[in-house]
Structure 1
């Protein structure tokens, strides 16, 4: 099996025939379907004559009866009842297009569907027009030995190598349908890390699913890993893919490797769930980053609104511009819930699902549901510039409903981004710089091959150790939660007076409204007093407003007290201040030192008379000296609007691994400027003159 790359390189070389007629990015549209056809041809060769004989005998039967009969004779899950094979096709140059179509139409339904999704008819027409069709068929016919392999897995490796090569020369789209192999290997390592004893059992059978399987890379690497760990184990692979060509490639790969191609479904996983009701032991996925879900919006929203948690999207709906968290909810819905068995998920996200959306928003509610149900086990930050079509930072989420005892109620964060490494790219513990970039891919995680360090092992060991360190932090689930409070401050008139509502309470000023995220573990009121009120001045107690009956006391310039009652305090005070009240006019200015509010004028008049007595005046003077009258009373300069309080969850990954880097000293900067000036031969000095 070690020479599979040599065989793949030979098949790859056939693409040279396309030069000048096809763009490099389109070579795969010809070579991959031909590779599939040639491999299927080789698999069917030993039973070809028997299948043709059986077809003549049973050809009048209905397809649903005929197909199983011929599949049984071919001893695989497909057959071909055309008289042609590649050897026969190569004998007739003049009729190659018609004969090739006849050959393709002779395949059983499952195999023919794969070819149809390649849109292969378009390539037949184009190749025939360029007079290349026969040349390509002849080269594949002559390459018989390259397709004669000892086991399906070897041909799978060959096919996967071809997929990788075509993905790399098609940089603009590779990231959509192809995940770098080392990233998948890391995900698989962590996904299976705690289950090695189970997976080593003789004849163990497990299932694995990818709802956005692309060309099937994740499924293939997981299958390869388990095969290395235990040759007697079997991993049944399931997936769904929306892109027709990627679907065809994935299904071909499954067929070539001896997997059941019927387990790979076509269509949108959200609106056309091809595996509805199924559950799986393991799930892997790299859904497209930041892709909107408008096309399935109505279906998803209806399921959310009508089914709630009985459906897949009960926790919430993310922004229409990014469906990443929909994929995760979809996968969680396919978890097994039978006690210890459960399921494990590894999924790649960009940074958005970590923190997008405030408290109460769809993304926050989804995070809240996942974390409060103790499903989030770990998040691993991996290096940027790993993917072909984007250089952004990415994260692997590990989600499971069967955490080990020491992990329950905890979330492990691993910083394997390599960004804080003091030597930059040199000897970075988490990535190696590529000699030649492929699109946006300039880094790779070392896999111990071709002299590279085993950085996949390094990251896996950090995960397995589950110990705090420079690159690993462990948190309680609640550490990611917060209470979002709305802090209001009073509204003031143009004159600077606090505006009151009908009950005499300060009106909130929406322009001054602020919000605070209080850690979930903290008491909200204590936090508010400590972090908010200590930084805001108190407000004077609210004065009586128009329409309220009140008794008021003024301190005049001669230290005498004036006691009165009114139904419109602001107006009456204004009259005093303008000198329109005879008793206080010669005693201006006046200061309001006390007021009391009553429900009726009679009550106000009675209280006024009480305060005007000798006893009442003594009480006023005593309380004034103690600074205890109404005017001295204060109230908080801000308050919480509890009706707007919400709980949210976010994972501020960068904050947890932040390292302070002191700014360079002025002396260092000065030396650099002088050195630069010296290098430029005095140019700076001349410019400054």
Structure 2
């Protein structure tokens, strides 16, 4: 299933398949930390030992100097915690304790990793023989030989996250947003420079894709600053490791915390916000937050946090900031609990820049149809909103899962033979809208004045505005076509009656009356 979601997954799948021998009777949520922890340990050891060997070759005696490593963003791995030390004891009965001790030693030497790394390898339910076998496999694969070490380990980490999300079902959605959804947000927002914020960051996918965007467009990753938080302690740690592998230093708050009740960045104003908050969250703390300064457009209902998330993010936008978020489709039209009034106030404040209706089956964890909301504090097209109906886009990569194409897969072609690239089509449509060159396309996109949205009672469902896709005229006059079609239908009815009689006759012959 998920193995089609990465451009080149040979190595990633090899690691995943190897790690799966560890599972035994453990839940996916439990052995997730084991698998990702081993990937992380192997990665930082490979990077450390690569630099270590270089310093030894230099002959100046600096190979044990911490500063030689930290100055280049390399984690210092002390003697006894290096992969070579771990692999030498792969078949010792206490291999689990060896790995736990290595994790503790690394945390002690690297303040950024304090209380982040998993230290549960010694527990009885983890088969030590199998653990040793996986350590052997990792030992035989020098990860930095498979391309850029950050890229390959990042891809492996992301691949394993997607597989865990699939296996954990609904719970998997707490830490993983499909990369095609994230990349659509990123390609529209184009976060080149400034503060990037995600108030429910999960495993950090929004930040990873932002960094990739900057690198792919020859920008400097140091031009963006990362801020976020997450309420789940395990997920918060996954994000820290995910970003550390990619050389990104985030501020995810001092600890895992509830965004509404314990905002870790109360004064921060972001240039870009990207988020996929929990859909239709109830019991989010409304009673304690009735007079909160964030509810500038109305008090969100206690039964649903959709508009609490939306307003929290608007509050944290810088004066010229822009944001993109994933919301359940109900938020486009709901009138309950005052949501219609909140939506009206946000539209009248001229904040809604673009709404995209997404296709179904993009998520491992839910079939709820979703939309992307793009909000801007300083819209380039004042008084106008772009609506895109992307529900027909994407390709099925399995029986259950759809993916927006990105132009990298040869098997998905347009009619003219070019590779399908849904993400680029959406981003190009948005850019043309911003530049004032976009023409409405029936059934796909429309630029709409705020007055027209008001006429629709501030409902933001794209289908209301883009209309129905025009059908190509086949040249057959309407009257002739109807006569032909009704004649064909009559013939089909006659055939069905004949088949019905034959079936009844055969059933009657063996003693069954219908």
- Decide: shared fold, TM above 0.5: yes
Query: Separation in 2 of the partners of 1:254 and 1:38?
Result: 15
What number of residue pairs does the alignment pair up? 461
- The offset of 1:249, in angstroms, is 1.7
TM-score by length of structure 2 reads: 0.79
- SS of corresponding position for 1:124: coil
1:13 corresponds to which of 14, 17, 21: 17
Task: Choose 130-139 or 83-92, whichever is displaced more.
Answer: 130-139
- The offset of 1:38, in angstroms, is 1.6
- The offset of 1:228, in angstroms, is 0.8
- SS of corresponding position for 1:143: coil
Judge conservation of contact 1:191–1:344 (CA < 8 Å) in 2: yes
Query: Separation in 2 of the partners of 1:147 and 1:323?
Result: 46
1:336 corresponds to which of 318, 334, 355: 318
**Higher strand proportion (structure 1 or 2):** 1
Structure 1 pair 137–298 and aligned structure 2 pair: CA distance change class (3 A): farther
- The offset of 1:333, in angstroms, is 1.2
Q: For residue 679 of structure 1, what is the aligned residue in structure 2?
A: 499
Query: Separation in 1 of the partners of 2:132 and 2:159?
Result: 25
- The offset of 1:357, in angstroms, is 1.7
The higher radius of gyration belongs to: 1
Query: Separation in 2 of the partners of 1:128 and 1:457?
Result: 45
Judge conservation of contact 1:252–1:261 (CA < 8 Å) in 2: no
- The offset of 1:682, in angstroms, is 3.8
Q: For residue 472 of structure 1, what is the aligned residue in structure 2?
A: 445
Query: Separation in 1 of the partners of 2:425 and 2:187?
Result: 11
Query: Separation in 2 of the partners of 1:396 and 1:351?
Result: 9
Q: Which structure carries more relative contact order (alpha carbon 8 Å, separation 6+)?
A: 2
Q: For residue 460 of structure 1, what is the aligned residue in structure 2?
A: 427
Query: Separation in 1 of the partners of 2:300 and 2:491?
Result: 51
Q: For residue 229 of structure 2, what is the aligned residue in structure 1?
A: 240
Q: For residue 589 of structure 1, what is the aligned residue in structure 2?
A: none
Structure 2: gaps spanning 5 or more residues: 1-5, 56-64, 413-419, 434-438, 472-477
Judge conservation of contact 1:208–1:280 (CA < 8 Å) in 2: yes
Task: After TM superposition, list the pairs within 5 Å mapping 1:43-58 onto structure 2.
Answer: 43-45=47-49
- The offset of 1:431, in angstroms, is 2.2
Q: For residue 389 of structure 1, what is the aligned residue in structure 2?
A: 365
Query: Separation in 1 of the partners of 2:166 and 2:259?
Result: 26
- The offset of 1:277, in angstroms, is 0.9
Query: Separation in 2 of the partners of 1:94 and 1:19?
Result: 18
1:277 corresponds to which of 267, 270, 285: 267
- The offset of 1:14, in angstroms, is 1.7
Structure 1 pair 171–408 and aligned structure 2 pair: CA distance change class (3 A): same
Structure 1 pair 147–315 and aligned structure 2 pair: CA distance change class (3 A): farther
Q: For residue 404 of structure 2, what is the aligned residue in structure 1?
A: 445
TM-score by length of structure 1 reads: 0.60
- The offset of 1:103, in angstroms, is 1.6
Judge conservation of contact 1:42–1:147 (CA < 8 Å) in 2: no
- The offset of 1:32, in angstroms, is 0.8
Structure 1 pair 84–186 and aligned structure 2 pair: CA distance change class (3 A): closer
- The offset of 1:477, in angstroms, is 1.4
* Root-mean-square deviation (Å): 3.5
Q: For residue 116 of structure 2, what is the aligned residue in structure 1?
A: 114
Judge conservation of contact 1:216–1:250 (CA < 8 Å) in 2: yes
Q: For residue 177 of structure 1, what is the aligned residue in structure 2?
A: 175
Task: Choose 150-159 or 321-330, whichever is displaced more.
Answer: 150-159
In the alignment, does 2:195 pair up with 1:207?
A: yes
Query: Separation in 2 of the partners of 1:77 and 1:460?
Result: 35
Task: After TM superposition, list the pairs within 5 Å mapping 1:228-307 onto structure 2.
Answer: 228-232=216-220, 234-263=223-252, 266-292=256-282, 294-303=283-292
- SS of corresponding position for 1:437: coil
Structure 1 pair 80–262 and aligned structure 2 pair: CA distance change class (3 A): farther
Structure 1 pair 212–676 and aligned structure 2 pair: CA distance change class (3 A): farther
Judge conservation of contact 1:446–1:455 (CA < 8 Å) in 2: yes
